Chains A and B, each alone.
Chain A
Amino acid sequence: AQSVAQPEDQVKVAEGNPLTVKCTYSVSGNPYLFWYVQYPNRGLQFLLKYITGDNLVKGSYGFEAEFNKSQTSFHLKKPSALVSDSALYFCAVRLGGYNKLIFGAGTRLAVHP
């Protein structure tokens, strides 16, 4: 079955430090992978996606993600964290031909001053 896993419930980093939020996937065929962010009492906002091409994908708000086929991973990264980055982050994989997304359980990112 196609799925995504986010092994960390929570990630804590200090402001200004680099951050990584982990995601691994299990899909048949070429994966279409996404990262979304959710702020309190809000819907999900698209950050970035990997379809094909360069393994390093750049997205919104300075985030980037690295696709690693051999490790079946798609980790989200940012060189320098901001307190305002504190939110819930979801990795997702696309199924089917109409953008149906299957989401991981989410990782709560806490950036402290």
Chain B
Amino acid sequence: GAGVSQSPRYKVAKRGQDVALRCDPISGHVSLFWYQQALGQGPEFLTYFQNEAQLDKSGLPSDRFFAERPEGSVSTLKIQRTQQEDSAVYLCASSYQGEVESAPLHFGNGTRLTVT
């Protein structure tokens, strides 16, 4: 399995619950991104990691959203006290970053979060 793996594939949460979404990037990929894709929309940038360092979190919509990548590989996106507006597909992507500029992002299949 050489692709980006995300789990769970689907998640239903009651409003107010906390959720954790996992991303396993392609082995050796330094860069890791989280995107949020609302129904019928393009993906919206949430946050970016280079190895374990979170270099850009400008897209996180509120302080209820938190992401980590403690060992520079697997990443977790956590949403606290979920709200209905958090319902979306959360996409993880990774890329090789080095001398190859603008290497394409490799996306996982996403986690569809539904908040009821």
Please name the 10 residue pairs, one residue from A and one from B, whose CB atoms are nearest each other, closest first: A43-B107, A103-B42, A46-B104, A44-B107, A43-B109, A105-B42, A103-B43, A106-B42, A43-B108, A32-B102
Contact assessment for A99 and B45 in the assembled complex, using a CB-CB cutoff below 8 Å: no
Contact assessment for B107 and A99 in the assembled complex, using a CB-CB cutoff below 8 Å: no
Chain A residues whose CB sits within 8 angstroms of the CB of B108 once the complex forms = 43
Report A76-113 CB contacts with B as 1/0, cut-off 8 Å. 00000000000000100010101111111110000000
Contact assessment for A105 and B105 in the assembled complex, using a CB-CB cutoff below 8 Å: no
Chain A residues whose CB sits within 8 angstroms of the CB of B105 once the complex forms = 44, 46, 99, 101
Task: Determine which of B4, B31, B45, B102 lies in contact with A43 in the assembled complex, contact meaning CB atoms within 8 Å.
Answer: B4
Contact assessment for A44 and B43 in the assembled complex, using a CB-CB cutoff below 8 Å: yes
Could you say which interface size class chain B belongs to?
A: 20 to 34
Could you say which interface size class chain A belongs to?
A: 20 to 34
Indicate whether B82 reaches chain A with its CB closer than 8 angstroms. Answer: no
A29 to chain B, nearest CB (A): 13
Contact assessment for B102 and A46 in the assembled complex, using a CB-CB cutoff below 8 Å: no
In the bound assembly, the distance between CA atoms of A102 and B40 in angstroms comes to 16
Contact assessment for B107 and A34 in the assembled complex, using a CB-CB cutoff below 8 Å: no
Chain A residues whose CB sits within 8 angstroms of the CB of B109 once the complex forms = 41-43
Indicate whether B87 reaches chain A with its CB closer than 8 angstroms. Answer: no
Nearest opposing residue in chain A for B33, CB measure: A100
Indicate whether B97 reaches chain A with its CB closer than 8 angstroms. Answer: yes
Max count, chain B CB within 10 A of own CB: residue among A36, A100, A102, A104: A100
Within 8 A of A (CB), among B27-70: 31, 33, 40-45, 48, 50, 55-56
Indicate whether B110 reaches chain A with its CB closer than 8 angstroms. Answer: yes
Nearest opposing residue in chain B for A43, CB measure: B107
Indicate whether A14 reaches chain B with its CB closer than 8 angstroms. Answer: no
Indicate whether B73 reaches chain A with its CB closer than 8 angstroms. Answer: no
Contact assessment for B91 and A43 in the assembled complex, using a CB-CB cutoff below 8 Å: yes
Contact assessment for B45 and A98 in the assembled complex, using a CB-CB cutoff below 8 Å: no
A67 to chain B, nearest CB (A): 14
Contact assessment for A99 and B42 in the assembled complex, using a CB-CB cutoff below 8 Å: no
Contact assessment for B91 and A44 in the assembled complex, using a CB-CB cutoff below 8 Å: yes
Nearest opposing residue in chain A for B96, CB measure: A99
